[in-house]
Amino acid sequence: MGRHNENIGHQARKRFGQNFLHDRGVIDRIVRSINPKPDQNLVEIGPGLGALTEELLKSGGSVTAVELDRDLTPILRTKFFNYPQFNVIEADALKFDFTQLATPERPMRLVGNLPYNISTPLIFHLLTFRGLVQDMYFMLQKEVVDRLAAKPGEDAYGRLGVMAQYYCKVESLFNVGPGAFQPAPKVWSAIVRLTPYTEPPLVCKDVGTLTSVVRQAFAMRRKTLRNTLKQLITVDALQSLDIDPQLRPERLGLPEFVRIADYVYDHPLENES
């Protein structure tokens, strides 16, 4: 596979956020991290010109590619026609129902070089299918991976990290420079591994309430909890949960957010007068 003739016949499209991975060393490192095995159910989002797809197929697993760009799907079908375990679906991953690609007995291993412009909503969409997912390996803008893996007190810590870490073990694996792509993006990328918990370390009473609390808390992240959460919980209630109302939201860990959400769920009409 020539590094420099990969893009012949297809120009990367800005509106799809396309940056095609072409660096052989990076591709090999991603595949080693995934460690695909025969008979596994691999689902690749946004395969592009199939640089990573080819290496996944060599493992003997089945690969279903979900690709939005209708100009790419015939290229992929032609390129991998000799792999009977390859299938390509022309669809928008943001709206696609991934339940049709997996069962609890044959969970998905999700892989993708995700378009930067939709990466956050796409991750939230994919997390809704977590019961059918063994693990996920995504190439993302480094800033997004930093947000996914951030700990309380770090600048990158916010709603994305709290919710992803509620559902998954999050591991930032390695960084990838702009030169690994054609065209080269202006930013660094990174590979993240998300492994959904079979037994979550923390379970809240109602995920919808947790989502609302976290969204509200970080809506104005420079303000204190007593201000950002005043529509949901009183200062006295926060203190009763052993949480300082003067803290900013980025100082709270997941256990504190779960405590607040459980209280709000049990006291739905309690507002500060």
Q: What is the pLDDT of residue 18?
A: 57
Rounded to whole angstroms, how far apart are CA atoms 7 and 3? 9
**Model pLDDT for residues 45-74, shown as the tens digit of each residue:** 999 889 999 999 999 999 999 999 999 999
**Residue ranges of the domains in the chain?**
14-196, 207-266
Q: Which residues contact 239 (CB under 8 A, 6 or more apart)?
A: 245
Pairing of strands 181-182, 20-21: antiparallel
| Cα–Cα separations (whole angstroms), residue 268 to 206, 235, 240, 254 | 12, 15, 16, 20
The CATH number assigned to the domain with range 207-266 reads: 1.10.8.100
Angle at 165 between CA 237 and CA 191, to 5 degrees: 155
Cα separation, 33 vs 136, whole angstroms: 11
Specify the pLDDT at position 181.
85
Averages of pLDDT over each 10 residues, the chain, 273 residues: 40 54 91 95 94 94 94 94 96 96 95 87 94 96 96 95 97 94 88 95 96 95 93 96 96 97 86 44
User: What's the CATH number of domain 14-196, 3.10.450.710, 1.10.287.1080, 3.40.50.150, 1.10.150.170?
Assistant: 3.40.50.150
pLDDT, one tens digit per residue, over 90-134 is 999 999 999 999 999 999 999 998 877 889 999 999 999 999 999
Q: What pLDDT is recorded for position 3?
A: 33
Confidence at residue 160, expressed as pLDDT on a 0 to 100 scale: 95
Number of other residues whose CB lies within 10 A of the CB of residue 208:
10
Asked, colleague to colleague, whether 14-196 and 207-266 share their fold, the answer is no
Q: What is the pLDDT of residue 164?
A: 97
